[in-house]
A and B are shown apart, each in its own frame.
Chain A
Amino acid sequence: MDHTIVALVEDKPGVLNRVASLFRRRNFNIKSLNVGNSETPDVSRMTIVVDDSVDASKVEANLYKLVNVVDVQDVTDQPAVIRELALIKVAATPGQRAEVASLASIFRGSIVDVASDSVVVQITGTEDKIASLLELLNPLGVLEMVRTGNIAMMRGAMSGKRYYQEKQTVNSGQ
């Protein structure tokens, strides 16, 4: 089973390189990696998916060892929202557009661009959902596809930032 790991990292030059270098050095295979802003300025948020060839607890420990990594959490077995966004360009004559639109709408996807011989479908969801839509679109001819890789967030108010909070309380207790 894939493991989804969320890491909060300091937004400094070279941090992505440190993470990538770590994965290469320890021979951890990355399935997908997504980086972007978090709610805190100067802290970026990474969502990393590794497959089951990798021991996720080792990934967690090694990531946390990087000085610029503030917090790491494996959310795989936690109540979490995990989503991916995909853009799929499908070959479609004007006559086929309606068919694509209705397929997309089954999965709450939508057409976001129309050209004379193709349309771009946007869909967000789990990997499975995107795979299902893709299967239906394939016969029409998928010209191009891009996927963001998973992003993840724990459900509930107190989720996430586990290390960070623990350490804060430990430190304030000293």
Chain B
Amino acid sequence: MKLTGAEIMMECLVKEGVDTIFGYPGGAIMPVHDAMLKYPVHHILTRHEQGASHAADGYARASGKVGVAIATSGPGATNLVTGIATAMMDSVPIVCITGQVPVHLIGGDAFQEVDVTGVTLPITKHNYLVTSVEEIPEVVREAFHIARSGRPGPVLIDFCKNAQLGEMEFEYPEGEVSLLGYHPPERAPKADLEEAVKLIEAAERPVILAGHGVQMSGAMEELRMFATKTNTPVAMTLLGLGSLPASDPLSLGMMGMHGEAYANEAIQNSDLLLAFGMRFDDRVTGLLSTYAPKAKKIHVEIDATEVHKNVAVDLPLMGDLKNVLTDIIPMLDEYDHPQWMSEIAEWKAETKERSIMSWRDDGKLYTAHAIRALWNATEGDSLVVTGVGQHQMWAAQYYEFEKPYRLLTSGGAGTMGYGVPAALGAWFAKKEEDVWLIDGDGSFQMTQSELATLVQEGANVKIALMNNSFLGMVRQWQEFFFDKRYAATPITGPDFVKLAEAFGVPAKRVEKPEDAMDAIKFAQETPGPVLIEFRVEMEEAVYPMVPAGAPLNEMLRRPIQEE
């Protein structure tokens, strides 16, 4: 039977396992939305295409599947861009489909024509311009294969209208996708593993750096086995949180700019860093020339361009992390580093004293305390989505993650506005689980229109809005490094409770610490989306902090609480 290009697109998407698509219609993509009605696919109408690409990203991170976003040509496609860049920076597999003017109009500045493959070239893992119906099946298969394999990432298909309307006999190409120039490494060579074993054997002060790659590779169990067998503490990147349970005795928590002081101290004093699926981002290394000066470095990576990019390493192990760890664990003996572990324990004890969690109640509402209340109420088992800023760092610090795939946050790009739409996407991936969005008043206002989508879809997303009436993280930098000149950071908002209610979202405001728990309970007991606005301290700072350009262990520490 002959099918149209739009129908063939839908056939191929269904074959890829797609049943959820986030998108927005328009002239150049109408045939696809029309064809979608005949397929077992749920289309979620976001209120802005940026919402669609973030929702696809949230869906992908929470489900481990490829997220799909769809938009029309021109402005529809350019509105996706921030979400695509966010997914690119954090290696999230999404496929974006954009309408494009018919091929004979391309280059003529037709209505709503934008060179979308050109615009997205540097922010996609790969992209395609489909100009004829015949290309569709191969392109869709390749797009999904590329998005989900190797180091995952976003792929865009720009879909000319003539190809959507064209017809052909459809036959799904069976067999594996084979691309001449695309062969992600799978297993590290034996000789390299032997080399690694020698370095591990010789190490007295080893530290594992667990990145996003651990969860993308599904190597949590292998990580635990490796760490336990070699008695090696594990520091995690922001996106690595949950790779090892926070309560594991070997967990050092988060590393980096707002990481645990003892994790950074351990890294700086280490004699062997084992980097597992992480990329030595400047937010985790501090000043490069002073980074872990005594440490040999082993880098397990699937992407060759990451090796030696920021930090020259002694031994790269190229391959999929899960495979590499599976191969190397049997080659290792059991090791013990009692002295190293006791040194770390000392640093850890000192941190505990300073922690805001040890503060006595002074009647003020701190974001950290609200997050801890949330942790208690959800028994530490919710999916947590965040915006970007101080609240994001506090969420990472105080919502202690016991399980993988629980923290959805824009790490590499730091995209404010990620929160509401990503939470929407996460809920579609994990409807049976709690989904809490911890957002800032600035971040929230960037994409708050997606509240309407939450309501239209009945999405059971709970929102904890940390309102400090500031673009807090920037304000913090101004406090520390710009003599408290608060340029462009005081921010007003609507009455968030009324705003939410206007959208049909039940809401409450919390102004005192003792009211936090009741409000959270209210949210948990009320079905559907609920918003809780926490009026938090306006000028709190996130500690510890490594100032940009400072060595990793030269941290600004939280002042001791005043009497």
A residues adjacent to B (C-beta < 8 A): 9-10, 13-14, 17-18, 21, 25, 43, 55, 57-58, 61-62, 64-71, 163-164, 167, 170-171
Contacts and interface: CB of A to CB of B under 8 A. Distances in A.
Contacts of B305: 58, 61-62, 65
A68 B307 CA distance: 21
Contact of A69 (B118, B181, B303, B304): B181
16 contacts: A10-B180, A10-B181, A14-B117, A14-B129, A17-B118, A17-B121, A21-B122, A25-B122, A58-B305, A58-B308, A62-B305, A65-B304, A66-B181, A67-B146, A70-B180, A167-B183
Contact of A21 (B121, B126, B129, B303): B121
B309 interface: yes
A164 B179 CA distance: 11
A168 to B, nearest CB: 9
Interface string B92-124: 000000000000000000000000011001100
A17 to B, nearest CB: 7
B121 A18 contact: yes
Contacts of A55: 308
Among B118, B125, B181, B304, chain A packs the most CB atoms within 10 A around the CB of B181
A55 B180 CA distance: 26
B186 to A, nearest CB: 8
> Closest 4 interchain pairs by CB?
A70-B181, A61-B304, A67-B126, A61-B305
Residue in A55, A67, A164 with the greatest tally of chain B CB atoms within 10 Å: A67
A9 B181 CA distance: 8
B182 interface: yes
Contacts of A58: 305, 308-309
A58 B304 CA distance: 9
Contacts of A43: 180
A64 B121 contact: no
Contacts of A13: 129
A85 to B, nearest CB: 28
A71 B308 contact: no
A37 B480 CA distance: 58
A67 B308 contact: no
B303 A65 contact: yes
Nearest to A25: B122
A2 B57 CA distance: 42
A71 B181 CA distance: 7
A136 B304 CA distance: 46
Contacts of B126: 67
Nearest to B307: A61
A57 B309 CA distance: 10
Contacts of A68: 181
B183 A57 contact: no
Contacts of A62: 305
A25 B121 CA distance: 10
Nearest to A18: B121
Contacts of B122: 21, 25
B294 to A, nearest CB: 25
A85 B344 CA distance: 64
Given A18-B121, A65-B303, A170 B181 contact: no
A64 B309 CA distance: 15
Nearest to A62: B305
Given A57-B308, A58-B305, A170 B129 contact: no
Contacts of B303: 65
B317 to A, nearest CB: 15
A78 B430 CA distance: 54
B106 to A, nearest CB: 11
A67 B181 contact: yes
Interface string B206-239: 0000000000000000000000000000000000
A43 B181 CA distance: 11
Given A17-B118, A17-B121, A18-B121, A64 B304 contact: yes
Contacts of A10: 180-181
Residue from the set A21, A25, A65, A68 with the largest chain B CB neighbour count within 10 Å: A65
A115 B183 CA distance: 54
Given A43-B180, A69-B181, 11 more contacts: A17-B118, A18-B121, A25-B122, A64-B304, A65-B303, A67-B125, A67-B179, A67-B181, A67-B182, A71-B181, A163-B183
A68 B127 CA distance: 11
